[in-house]
C-alpha cells in the first residue's frame, strides 16, 4: 500500500469512528477513496469568506447535481439561483435567526417540479391520472437527491453549504417572490460559499440504530439513543435548552431532549395547505 493510501485508510477510519462512535475497518485494497473521506467528513457551513463563486464553477456544479438519478427519468427537480440581492434579503427577512442566508455569496432554492410532466401530458394529448401523494413524493425525493449531489460536488471543490428548509416557513411568500407556478414547490434553500473555517464532524446515531438487516429492528433503541446522547454531548454539548420558557430546566440537555422539545411546537403546519394550493391533491 502506498504511503498515500495508508494515510487515507487512517483518515477514513478516524472520520467514521468520530461520526458513529464505533470501530471501523477499511477494506484492504480500497485505493483513491478520497470521495468517501469527503462524505464522511461532511459538515454544514454558515460563515463565508468574501470570495465569490465563479459562474462557470456554479454551472458545473448545477450539471453535477442534475446528473443525480431521477425517478423514472422524470427529471422533476429544478434549481433557482437567486441572484437578485433584494429577493435574497426578502427571503432572509422571513428567517431573521439565520443571518447566513443573506451573507452567503450564492443562494439557491431546490424545487420539486411536477408541472413539466403535466405539461408533457397536455402537449401529447394524454390524460394525467397520477394525481396522488406518491407523485408529490417523487418530485420531492428527486429534489432532495439533486440537493445532496450539489452539496457533495460543492464540498469536493472546497465550497461550504448549508441547506435551508426554513424557506418553507413562508412557502407562499417565497413562491410569489420566485414566481413558482402551480405544481412547483420549494424543497430547500442552499447557502453556498467558501467557508471561513473547517467543519466539524457532528456525531450521528449509531449504524445499529439506522441500518437494519432483513427486518426493521428497534432492539435496545432507547438505551442506544441514551448512549448516543452522551457521546454527542461529550463532543458537542448543546449550548442552550430549547424552549427554556416552556419547560423546566432539563438535568441533561442531550440531542433527544432537544429534538423532543423542538417537535413539541408546531412547525410549518400550513405547508400541506400550501402544497394543495399548488395543485397537489395528496390523495
Interface residue list for ligand FMN (CB under 6 A): 42-44, 98, 162-166, 188, 202
The minimum distance between CB 80 and ligand FMN, in angstroms, equals 16
The nearer residue to ligand FMN, 44 or 208, going by C-beta atoms, is 44
Partner residues linked to 190 by β-bridges: 108, 163
The minimum distance between CB 28 and ligand FMN, in angstroms, equals 29
176-215: b (≥16 Cβ within 10 Å) or e: ebbebeebbbbbbbbbbbbbeeeeebebebbeebeeeeee
The nearer residue to ligand FMN, 117 or 147, going by C-beta atoms, is 147
The nearer residue to ligand FMN, 106 or 117, going by C-beta atoms, is 106
Half-sphere exposure of 6 (CA within 13 A, CB side): 3
The nearer residue to ligand FMN, 118 or 172, going by C-beta atoms, is 172
Residue written as cell 405544481? 183
Round to whole Å and give the CA distance between 97 and 228: 28
The minimum distance between CB 48 and ligand FMN, in angstroms, equals 13
Residue written as cell 429534538? 259
DSSP string of 222-237, one letter each residue = HHHHHHHHHHHHHHS-
The minimum distance between CB 84 and ligand FMN, in angstroms, equals 20
The minimum distance between CB 272 and ligand FMN, in angstroms, equals 17
The nearer residue to ligand FMN, 80 or 164, going by C-beta atoms, is 164
Round to whole Å and give the CA distance between 141 and 188: 12
Amino acid at each position: 500500500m502506498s504511503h498515500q493510501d495508508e494515510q487515507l485508510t487512517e483518515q477514513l477510519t478516524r472520520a467514521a469512528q468520530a461520526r458513529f462512535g464505533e470501530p471501523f475497518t477499511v477494506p484492504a485494497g480500497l485505493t483513491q477513496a478520497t470521495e468517501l473521506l469527503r462524505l464522511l467528513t461532511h459538515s454544514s457551513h454558515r460563515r463565508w469568506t468574501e470570495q465569490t463563486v465563479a459562474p462557470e464553477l456554479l454551472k458545473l456544479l448545477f450539471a453535477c447535481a442534475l446528473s443525480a438519478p431521477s425517478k423514472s427519468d422524470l427529471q422533476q427537480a429544478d434549481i433557482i439561483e437567486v441572484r437578485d440581492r433584494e429577493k435574497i434579503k426578502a427571503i432572509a427577512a422571513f428567517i431573521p435567526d439565520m443571518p447566513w442566508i443573506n451573507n452567503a455569496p450564492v443562494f439557491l432554492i431546490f424545487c420539486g417540479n411536477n408541472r413539466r410532466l403535466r405539461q408533457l401530458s397536455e402537449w401529447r394529448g394524454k390524460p394525467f391520472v397520477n394525481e396522488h401523494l406518491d407523485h408529490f413524493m417523487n418530485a420531492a425525493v428527486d429534489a432532495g437527491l439533486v440537493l445532496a449531489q450539489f452539496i457533495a460536488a460543492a464540498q469536493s471543490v472546497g465550497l461550504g453549504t448549508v441547506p435551508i428548509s426554513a424557506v418553507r416557513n413562508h412557502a407562499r411568500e417565497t413562491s410569489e417572490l420566485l414566481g413558482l407556478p402551480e405544481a412547483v414547490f420549494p424543497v430547500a434553500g442552499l447557502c453556498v460559499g467558501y467557508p471561513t473555517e473547517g467543519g466539524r464532524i457532528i456525531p450521528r446515531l449509531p449504524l445499529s440504530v439506522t441500518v437494519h438487516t432483513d427486518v426493521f429492528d428497534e432492539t435496545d433503541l432507547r438505551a442506544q439513543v441514551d448512549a448516543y446522547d452522551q457521546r454527542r454531548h461529550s463532543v458537542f454539548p448543546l449550548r442552550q435548552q430549547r424552549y427554556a420558557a416552556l419547560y423546566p430546566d432539563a438535568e441533561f440537555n442531550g440531542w433527544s431532549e432537544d429534538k423532543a422539545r423542538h417537535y413539541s411546537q408546531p412547525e410549518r403546519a400550513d405547508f400541506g395547505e400550501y402544497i394543495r394550493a399548488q395543485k397537489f391533491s395528496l390523495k
